Amino acid sequence: MIILMRRGCTPEEVQTVSDRLKDMGYDINPIFGVEKTIIGAVGVPEYDKLEAADQIQGLSGVEEVIFVSKPYKFVAREFRPNKTIVDVGGVKIGGDEIIMMAGPCTVESEKQLFQTAEAVSRAGAKILRGGAYKPSTSPYSFQGMGLPGLQLLKEASQKFGLKVITEVMHVRKVEEVCEYADILQVGTRNMQNYDLLREVGMTRHPVVLKRGMNAKLEEWLLAAEYIASAGNENIILCERGIRTFEPYTRNTLDLSAIPSLNSLTHLPVIVDPSQGTGRRDLVGPMTKAAVACGADGLLVEVHPNPDKAIKDGAQSITIQQFEKLMPELAMVASAVGRELPLPIRA
| pLDDT, tens digit, 9 for 90 and up, residues 15-36 | 999 999 999 888 887 877 666 7
Q: Is the per-residue pLDDT at 46 higher than 70?
A: no
Residues 225 and 135 in one domain: yes
Residues 59 and 105 in one domain: no
| Short-list 162, 81, 171, CA closest to 343 | 162
Residues 159 and 291 in one domain: yes
Residues 167 and 132 in one domain: yes
Q: Is the per-residue pLDDT at 136 higher than 80?
A: no
Residues 115 and 41 in one domain: no
Q: Under a CB-based contact definition with an 8 Å cutoff, are residues 300 and 100 in contact?
A: yes
The mean-pLDDT minimum among 71-85, 180-194, 213-227, 297-311 falls in 71-85
Return the CATH number at 262: 3.20.20.70
Return the CATH number at 8: 3.30.70.1140
Residues 234 and 285 in one domain: yes
Residues 168 and 44 in one domain: no
Residues 90 and 62 in one domain: no
Share of the chain above pLDDT 90, in %: 75
> Residue 235 forms beta bridges with which residues?
207
Strand-strand pairing, 235-239 and 207-210: parallel
Helix (H) or strand (E) holding 35: none
For residues 263 and 70, the model is more confident at 263
For residues 290 and 142, the model is more confident at 290
Residues 288 and 201 in one domain: yes
Specify the amino acid at residue 341.
P
Residues 31 and 103 in one domain: no
For residues 7 and 129, the model is more confident at 129
Split into its structural domains, the chain has a count of 2
What is the model's pLDDT at position 298? 98
Tell whether 345 is covered by a domain: no
The predicted-structure confidence for 298-327, as pLDDT tens digits, reads as follows: 999 999 999 999 988 999 999 999 999 999
- The residue among 15, 36, 66 that closes a domain is 66
- DSSP code string of 91-118: EEESSSBPEEEEE-SB---HHHHHHHHH
Determine how many CB atoms are found less than 10 A away from the CB of residue 218: 12
Cα 46 to Cα 43, 51, 69, 252: the distances in Å are: 9, 10, 11, 37
> Residue 101 forms beta bridges with which residues?
127, 299
Domain that holds residue 101: 86-335
The predicted-structure confidence for 70-97, as pLDDT tens digits, reads as follows: 888 889 998 888 899 999 999 999 999 9
